[in-house]
Amino acid sequence: MPLTLPLFAALAAAAILALPASAADKLVVTVTHPLAIARPSETITVPWSEVNKALPHALIQKIAVRDASGRILPHQVTNVAPQAKDPERIGAAYGDLIFQHDFAPGEQSATFTVEQTETVSPPFPVKAFARQVPERLDDFAWENDRLAHRTYGPALAAPAPAGAVKEVLVTSGLDLWCKRVDYPVVDRWYNKGHDHYHFDQGEGMDMYGVSASRGCGGTGVWADGRLHVSSNYKSARVLANGPVRAIFELTYDTWAADGVFVSEVKRFTVDAGRNLDRIESTFAATGKTPELTIGIGLHKNPADKNQDPLVTLTPDASAGTLAQWIAQKTNGALGTAIVLVDPAAFAGFAEDARNSLVLAKVAPGQPLRYLAGAGWDRAGHYPDQASWLAYVATESARARSPVTVTLSTR
């Protein structure tokens, strides 16, 4: 009888059947889910240890992942937490095999094969990417084929030296760059500079204002009727970098929150084809603090005043979601959203002068999981508020009903 093991795929767990010890010609991956809705760009994760068990000596540069029609799918193999050293170079020391599938409406099962190849497989186009940007005051930037983001590091928060002119911004808010192309733009936009990427020159633009707000998905501790927030991130590390998924962590140094000192580590999972990133925030707190109330924020009005923005907010307590639609004079319309993954964590809504907030309860040391992101009407995916709200509802349902992965050999 095969053994079912937990598999962390995106934000939630799914089941895996352990493989027999004998070698196989192919590893068969069967993916199921309970929803009748479409699930485009569903990310499927298989532990590399199971691939190596079925296909001994399989190497990441000499495998192919095929769908039921035989089409080769883009894939990547992570090395986030190596399971073992590999001195004999037999391909045993990696993390996860990752690929994607577009589930059509009503398609609740799909089968794939993982096979060894004789020739080296060329790399696939990168659709998820993250890096620190030391050439721009320690920004940290990330993107996929839908959207780009950045947030701000210690160099930007440092005071200007005496007599010097320097940009200073103290915030742990998360910024958005709106794209209308599916290829990476972060490096190109930083290269062309601030005076260019704030205008749409054919690829999109940075039109989102963060300032001291939470931006799109920044956090703080809600206590004594107000939000207590950290400074700019202290350190960053990239754990995986495409082509299908990027994973990175940002660490925020200790700050005071109504008599309690708190620090935070945010882990981001950025998948190709998705407008909402998956974020795990884990907080540490001093003393015997059994629980924290965290506010996850959306800037109330991130558009320039000359855009005459009309902002509509749609909270949904039953789903733990907060969606925003910002209609602008000449820059099009932008939807933003926060989605809590665990409905039991939901603790209501709140606001302060800058932010609309989803409140969530979490114990120190336990991850708070949520989705955050945006969609621009000029990118062509969400032309109006109704389509954006429908997308947010779908992503909430997907986060709470993860796929199940079953492995067998052929």
Q: What is the pLDDT of residues 239-282, one digit of tens each?
A: 999 999 999 999 999 999 999 999 999 999 999 999 999 999 99
Please state whether beta strands 147-151 and 27-32 pair in parallel, antiparallel, or not at all (unpaired).
Answer: unpaired
Domain ranges within the chain, ordered by starting residue: 4-124+402-409, 128-379
Q: Tell me the C-alpha distance between 247 and 8, whole Å.
A: 14
Nearest to 60 by CA among 77, 47, 74, 44: 77
pLDDT at 162: 82
pLDDT at 82: 61
pLDDT at 4: 37
Instruction: Note whether 4-124+402-409 and 128-379 share their fold.
Output: no
Residue that has been written with the tokens 């089941």 in this structure = 15
**Diameter of the chain measured on Cα atoms:** 73
User: Which residues make Cβ contacts (< 8 Å) with residue 27, sequence separation at least 6?
Assistant: 19, 46, 50, 51, 54, 55, 113, 114, 115, 407, 408, 409, 410
pLDDT at 67: 97
Q: Where are the alpha helices (DSSP H) in 36-117?
A: 48-54
pLDDT at 23: 52
Task: Count the residues in the chain.
Answer: 410
CATH number for 128-379: choose from 2.30.29, 2.60.40, 2.70.98, 2.40.128. 2.70.98
Q: What is the CATH number of domain 4-124+402-409?
A: 2.60.40.1180
pLDDT at 83: 58
Q: Which residues of the chain have pLDDT under 50?
A: 1-22
SS3 339: strand
Residue that has been written with the tokens 């955050």 in this structure = 372
For the record, the structure tokens of 356 come out as 């609309």
The residue type found at 307 is Q
Nearest to 180 by CA among 207, 206, 203: 203
- Work out whether the CA dihedral 339, 343, 345, 349 comes out positive or negative: positive
